[in-house]
Amino acid sequence: MSLAPGTDLTAGEFALEDISTGVHASGFGALGGGRSFSFHVEDRQLLVVEVYRPRLSGPVPQDEDIVAVATRSLTDIDVTDERSVAAAVRDAIAGAEPVRTAR
C-alpha cells in the first residue's frame, strides 16, 4: 500500500486511498508517520478500523501488524454516502485503542 507520489502526511493527518460504500463498505488509506489503516463493515452492524504499524514487511498486513483498533455502530453512519463513511473512519482512527500484545 503506498500513497501517490508527492503525498506527504504529517502527524494527525490521514488520506483515504480507496473507499467502497454500501452495506459492505470497506477501504484503506495512510496516516502520518508511515502507518496505514483499513476499515470494513462487519455483520452489517459495526464499522471496524484497524491501524497498522509503520513499514510493513509485505503488501498484506498480518494480525501481528495491527497496533490499534476501533469499532463504531452503524446506527448514525450513512454507509451509502462516501462523505459519511470517510468522516466515521476519521473519527474512529482518532479514538482507536492500542492493541495489547501477548508476552
For residue range 22-36, what is the model confidence (pLDDT) as tens digits? Answer: 999 999 999 988 899
Burial class (CB within 10 angstroms; exposed 0-12, middle 13-18, buried 19+) of 35: buried
Instruction: Residue 67: name the closest of 86, 87, 49, 42 by CA.
Output: 49
pLDDT band at residue 4 under the 50/70/90 scheme: very low
Domain boundaries, the chain: 14-98
pLDDT at 8: 73
pLDDT exceeds cutoff 60 at 3? no
User: How far is residue 40 from each of residues 8, 83, 103, measured CA to CA in Å?
Assistant: 25, 15, 28
